[in-house]
Amino acid sequence: MAPVTAAGDQPTTPPGDAMHALVERLYPLCRSITGDGVRATLDIVGEYVPLQVHEVPTGTQVLDWTVPQEWNIRDAYIADPAGKRVVDFAESSLHVLGYSVPVSRTMPLSELRAHLHTLPDHPSWVPYRTSYYKPEWGFCLAQDTLDALPDGDYEVRIDSTLADGHLTYAEHVIPGQVPDEVIVSCHVCHPSLANDNLAGIAVATFLARALAERTPYYTYRFLFAPGTIGAITWLARNKERVERVKHGLVLACAGDPGRLTYKQSRRGDAEIDRVMRHVLAASERPYQINEFTPYGYDERQFCSPGFDLGVGSLSRTPYAGYPEYHTSADNLDFVSPEAMADTLAVCREAFAVLDRNRRYLNLSPYGEPQLGRRGLYDALGGRSDTKQAQMAMLWVLSLSDGEHSLLDVAERSGLPFDTVADAADALHGAGLIKA
């Protein structure tokens, strides 16, 4: 990967540390499905990779949905009877119910309680709550804080606006050797949640930087968009391009200490599903493969039956699978450089397989061609896996019938994919197979 120089990092900064530094920069911003927090987030990501930013007006029909009004917030607090701020948006963007309508009132604690959200099972944590499509207001706070509030009248203020504006999303495209596309998607709508949101953004950003170091086979399209409505908006605006999307991966919860988890596409046998299963199994990492369900992140939009794209989802611990999910405990200490670096490495390994996976046709299919006189065995002399490489050539020749891919060869032979792909390159160079 190219040396990291953005955001003050030194050229020798390891990718994991650089990704964590990006998460730290993004963490304080108040994001939602629309608004200036999304724009500020994309401005920072744009320092790492060039982005094409799209603004879609309120009221735009996108499939069965409508782009909502834009929400922005400047300040919010609850002040106790003595005038002290006991809940303060300035301390954490989680303290306000997302998309809260403006309010400026004084009310008794008994009335205020109906608008307060806590986690009694984790009394020191602040929950993350939203009300995107129903006009409402509220605050999120620790149960310990609520329990300590005395009776009396409280000043309640939410300085927000909900008005016609835009939904904002961005794309970064890495041109490939072919126009067929791989889409990589992450959501940019959550506020201060380090794992569920920001780690995925960081891994996607540095994955894009890594892929840009070469000309990949596929064209890679990175989508930074608010969850659900963002993916729906992109699909609605890109119906003519959807047929180019051959593979895809949604990144989320990419930095926690749990094992890697891959959620398969709705098809279950899409090429990305097979590639991820193969890479995870071959890596000897702890991992889990989950079947598709129509609940989760934006893989459910890409996999909806009208589109039925081969898009899976990669995370560490899946959504709602860890106690810290959607709480203030999903903080900068919960994600680690090592976990994000590991997630990034798996993505790179998977896309390397995807880019090299081809079907070939044996041009000398009657009997085994003489490899020695073509110098193919001699070319393997310096390899530490010479015997494996020889076997890989024989397997590629045997299964190059136009029906089997190199991944098929690797799975059937039990040989490493890279060894099989190298053998195919050598056979292709000798004119024995063609793509």
Which residue positions form the known binding site for Zn(2+)? Answer: 190, 196, 326
Contact between residue 320 and residue 297 where contact means Cβ atoms under 8 Å apart: no
Q: Where are the beta strands (DSSP E) in 293-416?
A: 311-315, 359-362, 401-405
Supply 48's token pair: 């790492």
Alpha carbon distances (Å) from 9 to 13, 15, 147, 194, 287: 6, 10, 43, 20, 31
Return the DSSP state at 92.
Answer: -
Question: How far is the C-alpha of 43 from the C-alpha of 25, rounded, in Å?
Answer: 11
Which residues does the annotation place in the binding site? 190, 196, 326
Residue written as token pair 């081809």:
358
Find the angle CA(126)-CA(128)-CA(133) to the nearest 5 degrees: 150
Question: How far is the C-alpha of 178 from the C-alpha of 355, rounded, in Å?
Answer: 11
Supply 260's token pair: 């890697």
How many CA within 13 A on the CB side of residue 368? 11
Return the DSSP state at 165.
Answer: -
Question: How far is the C-alpha of 377 from the C-alpha of 359, rounded, in Å?
Answer: 23
Contact between residue 106 and residue 156 where contact means Cβ atoms under 8 Å apart: yes
Supply 25's token pair: 């920069």
- Residue 15 neighbours by CB under 8 Å, 6+ apart: 1, 4, 206, 340, 341, 344
Return the DSSP state at 179.
Answer: S
